[in-house]
Structure 1
């Protein structure tokens, strides 16, 4: 089965991890610092804080912005549940903003409409979390303008988007947001096995997140509030979590970063092959907004009902039967049973639901061979013309 995503591990990656195994640091150590500095420099952000996964990074980002019980957080319904769940961990209420029918990202138009209504009701969000779905950046400048007008904070869920660009700036620069979060899961653009990172230009937010990663504990004498008992002293300044990334993972991330641009270039090459092959098949293919350069974590198509005489489910099963590990990203979060208990129901976000009914994710990763790409393209063509 050709998987929809797969890590690319080189001998240099293996050697980097083995070097750490022979060192004095397996958990947090110098490789963590090096990895954070490398990613922040690549993105043009002032600080980066590594975490054990992107969900943890989202959780500590929301906490650093003082999201708490009763606050309102808005995000896209087309995302993995972690984007919303991290706010629920803090007791916040969740709502969603429907997606743009072209980009499949959070719609700025729907956001602005919803903000106008929320202002009249006196119930504005404390935080909005745009999701860079498939690796394509949301229109962050416009979202930032609305943030200033309506007084909410912004966290970019860029789990799909390291290596992407917005208006010729790297995603992660935080020019238009308070914090940006990346994921390094194995199917993402680069991997640390599991892992995440939060970037920010705000030193106060960075300090808070560093505390949250390590139980709220610091050994920094400039932050400690009590006289030190000795050189062993540490202080717990806030309630935090054990969200540390290991040095083994950081070493892998450092090695992967040397190939990040190559990975994204290869993803674009494969996506370009798909675009050309599917142009006249009646499929919906990813829109390329002129103001962004996608990281292309995913390549999603829309399978209109009845294409090739098949439903989306039948097309999905036909492709699986041909050894193609297609997937679907994502079931709209508001339709999950947990979120339905808060009053969400089918019909609430029609563009997201329309997208979901047609969505199929095709394999897209640098390890795909030419034979596999050809097989995928030919199979799509045969299934689409099955009638």
Structure 2
């Protein structure tokens, strides 16, 4: 089977992990801060805080920004459920902003309309979480302008987008947001086997994130509420979590980070080949990438025009029957039973549902062969031609 995505590891990655296994540190050792510093430097961000998953990073980003009961957090319905669940972990209310069907990203026009309505009802969000879907950044300048006008904070869910650029600035630099979150899951751009990271320009937020990821505990003499009892002494100052990344994960992530530009370049080359094959096709339409941004192409998505729901399902089944793992990213979050129990219903975000009825994710990852891409294209064309 040709998967829709997978990691690419080499001897440098194996050696990096083995070096940690042979050291005195498996967790909370030197590899974690080294990985943090390297990611921060790559993105030109002052602070980076590593965690055991992007979900954990999203959760702590909400907590660091003070999200709690009675607050509103808005996000895109076209994402994995973690983009919304992070607010629910804080006992906040979640709402969804419809998307641009041509990009899959949160629509800033829809956001502006929703904000005006919310302001009239005194129900403005505390935080908005735009999701850089498939590796393409959202319209962050417009989101930042709305944040300034309406007084909400911004968390960039950049789980798909390490290595991407917006207006020639690296995603993660944080010029238009409070916190940016990356994922290092195996199918993402680089992997740490599992893991996430939160980047910020704010030293206060960075310190909150550090405390929250490790039980709320500190042994820093400058932060203690009384003189230290000895070298063993620590204090739990807030209720935190065990969201720490291990040195094993960090060592793999650091090794992978050295190949980030190569991975993103290859992903773009693969996407360009697909684009050339589908150019002018009336039934197979790739997602549009806007001119002021450079996608890291975590995913390659096409929209199948003119197909019924059954034909859409049959297409994915046909691809899988031919050894190609066609997939779909994503089911609108609010259509999940959990969120429908909270009052959401079909039709809430029409563009997201229309997108869901058309989208298919095709294989794209470093190491994908041209012959495999040609087979994917021929197989998809064969199905579309048969209906």
TM-score interval, smaller chain: over 0.9
**Cα deviations by residue, 1:89-114 (Å, 9 ceiling, x for unpaired):** 01000000000122210000000000
**Residues 221, 227 of structure 2: 8 Å contact kept:** no
Does 2:255 match 1:255? yes
- For 1:371 and 1:242, how far apart are their aligned partners in 2? 45
- The CA deviation at 1:310 is 7.2
Deviation readout 1:330-368 (Å, 9 max, x if unpaired): 000011110011211111100000000111100110021
What TM-score results when the alignment is normalised by the length of structure 1?
A: 0.98
- Verify: 1:346 aligned to 2:346, yes or no: yes
**Contact 1:304–1:311 under 8 Å retained in 2:** no
Measured against aligned partners, the alpha-carbon deviations of 1:43-69 in whole angstroms (never above 9, x if no partner) come to: 011100000000000001000001001
Structure 1 Cα separation of the partners of residues 197 and 123 of structure 2:
31
Matched residues in 2 for 1:325 and 1:28: separation? Answer: 37
- Structure 1 distance, partners of 2:346, 2:254, is 43
Q: Distance in 2 between matches of 1:321 and 1:152?
A: 47
For 2:246 and 2:56, how far apart are their aligned partners in 1? 14
Larger deviation: 278-287 or 147-156?
A: 278-287
Aligned counterparts of 2:187 and 2:258: Cα–Cα separation in 1: 17
Cα pair 1:303 1:312 within 8 Å, conserved: yes
Is the CA contact 1:6–1:367 (under 8 Å) kept in the aligned structure 2?
A: no
Deviations 1:282-339 (A, max 9, x none): 21211010111001000011112438x9711111111111100111000000111100
Residue 371 in structure 1 maps to residue 378 in structure 2: no
Mapped partners of 1:39, 1:220: distance in 2: 24
Matched, 1:180 2:180: yes
Query: Runs (4+) of structure 1 moved beyond 6 Å?
Result: none
Counterpart of 1:19 in structure 2 is 19
Whether the aligned pair in 1 keeps the contact of 2:20 and 2:247 (CA below 8 Å) is yes
CA distance in 2, matches of 1:172, 1:63: 19
Match of 1:315 in 2: 315
* d(CA) in 2 for partners of 1:304, 1:366: 28
Aligned residue runs from structure 1 range 108-257, under 5 A: 108-257=108-257
Measure how far apart 1:168 and its partner are. Answer: 0.2
Q: In angstroms, what is the RMSD of aligned CA positions?
A: 1.1
Count of aligned pairs: 386
Q: Distance in 2 between matches of 1:6 and 1:219?
A: 40
Task: Encode CA deviations 1:222-252: one digit per residue, 9 max, x unaligned.
Answer: 1111211101111111000000100011000
CA contact (8 A) 2:319 2:326 kept: yes
- Deviation, structure 1 residue 370: 2.2
Partners of 1:60 and 1:224 lie apart in 2 by: 22
Cα distance per residue 1:185-229 (max 9 Å; x no partner): 000000000000000000000000000110000111111112111
1:82 aligns with 2:107: no
Structure 2: gaps of 5 or more residues:
none
Q: Identify the residue that residue 34 of structure 2 maps to in structure 1.
A: 34
Residue 305 of structure 1 contacts residue 312 of structure 1 at CA under 8 Å; is this kept in 2?
no
Residue segments in structure 1 that go unaligned for 5+ positions in a row: none
